[in-house]
Structure 1
Amino acid sequence: MPPSIMPFPIRLRRLVCALLASVASVAGPARADEQGPRQRLPLPAVYVRECAACHLAYPPGLLPAASWQRLMGGLDRHFGTDATLDAQDLTLISRWLQDHADTRRGALPPEDRITRSPWFERKHRHIEAATWRLPSVRTAANCAACHAGAAQGRYDEHDLRMPAGLSPRQRAAWDD
């Protein structure tokens, strides 16, 4: 049936679908918002190979470009470890991180740490310090301890799992 004589609801539905598809195609890179990273961004193989070998391949939208630039510029002393990369991998990863970095926040997190960013602290303010030290957690940077989908860039607060070792009081507070 030609579009000009198509029933109105079908034409409207197709128009809305086309509009939504075009908006989705220009939505931009993953960013951290009030909920954390909201869009799953495919991770380059070099990023997974080099960075996720030691820790979670953090979504680039968790930090602003200036933080990523400093982190990548100091890999010889990356949080107490020498994580030096060859020039080609360094360039590829740095460019990708900066291209997809958070652009909406003004303040840089202290020490360029995701766990010291204002949104991270706000989202985790009710977690006791003892919880971060549990053997099943070890550090606030171990997102996968509670966020089952962290490796896939999913941090939905409705899809959390309790880490092993919580006290009965902490377990009760978990559901609040």
Structure 2
Amino acid sequence: MKGLNISKIRQHWRWGVGAVLLMLCALVGSALAAIATPDFSGTVDVLPLNAQLGAQIYLRRCGSCHLAVPPETLPTQAWQVLIQDTNHYGATLEPIPRPELVPLWNYLRTYSRPLPNDAQIPFRVGRSPFFRILHPRVEVPRPVTLDGCAQCHPKATLFNFRELSPQWQDSP
């Protein structure tokens, strides 16, 4: 066993173990990224990469308690109040910390539309003029409930509002 150098064997072994660990970390990381990244292809407006953090915060914060409606359904002014008010439709919420509030607000402001200054701000989807604009030929049941969205948008719970139920797929 001439020339057998134990320190070189240990060094090669360490490099091998390190390479295997690195590959395992990369595989686990990419699998987790695939699981944790929502598919935003079904949103009303397709989201560029720079808006997806705010959308993820929105879905986590709002969609964990109720159906997260697209920002387009309410006016900008309503979103501005809703994300800062800790009294949310009778439930007491923790304030949203600033590191989450900034990308969340940027997302909601970008994808909602402002009302004229003299208009009353609707805080219910069914009272929003933008909701009606998005549903021009739909006889919407009264009162509008968030649960009712899934009747026409079967993947609404996945934040996919582009896919429609069969009776609406070929509608003009």
Query: Which TM-score applies when normalising by structure 1?
Result: 0.50
**What is the CA deviation profile of residues 17-52 of structure 1, one whole-angstrom value per residue up to 9, with x for unaligned ones?**
xxxxxxxxxxxxxxxxxxxx7423346322222111
Partner of 1:165: none
Offset of residue 155 of structure 1 = 4.6
**What is the CA deviation profile of residues 75-107 of structure 1, one whole-angstrom value per residue up to 9, with x for unaligned ones?**
x1111112223422233312321122224x547
For 2:104, which of 81, 93, 101 is the aligned residue? 93
Partner of 1:126: 139
Alignment of 1:71-110 (within 5 A): 71-74=82-85, 76-88=86-98, 89-103=100-114, 106=116, 110=121
- Report % sequence identity: 25
Query: Which TM-score applies when normalising by structure 2?
Result: 0.51
Partner of 1:140: 145
Q: Are the aligned partners of 1:67 and 1:112 in contact in 2 as well (CA < 8 Å)? A: yes
Q: Are the aligned partners of 1:64 and 1:102 in contact in 2 as well (CA < 8 Å)? A: yes
For 2:161, which of 147, 154, 163 is the aligned residue? 154
Offset of residue 128 of structure 1 = 4.5
Aligned length: 115
Distance in 2 separating the partners of 1:100 and 1:127? 23
Higher helix proportion, which one? 2
Change (3 A) 1:108 1:160: farther
Change (3 A) 1:45 1:99: same
Gaps (5+ residues) in structure 1? 1-36, 133-138, 163-174
Distance in 2 separating the partners of 1:58 and 1:154? 9
> Which gives a bigger RCO, structure 1 or 2 (Cα 8 Å, sep 6+)?
2
Q: Which has the larger radius of gyration?
A: 2
List 4+ stretches of structure 1 deviating above 4 A.
107-110
Q: Are the aligned partners of 1:115 and 1:141 in contact in 2 as well (CA < 8 Å)? A: no
- Give the secondary-structure state (helix, strand or coil) at the position aligned to 1:67: helix
Partner of 1:114: 125
Single out whichever of 89-98 and 48-57 deviates more from structure 2: 89-98
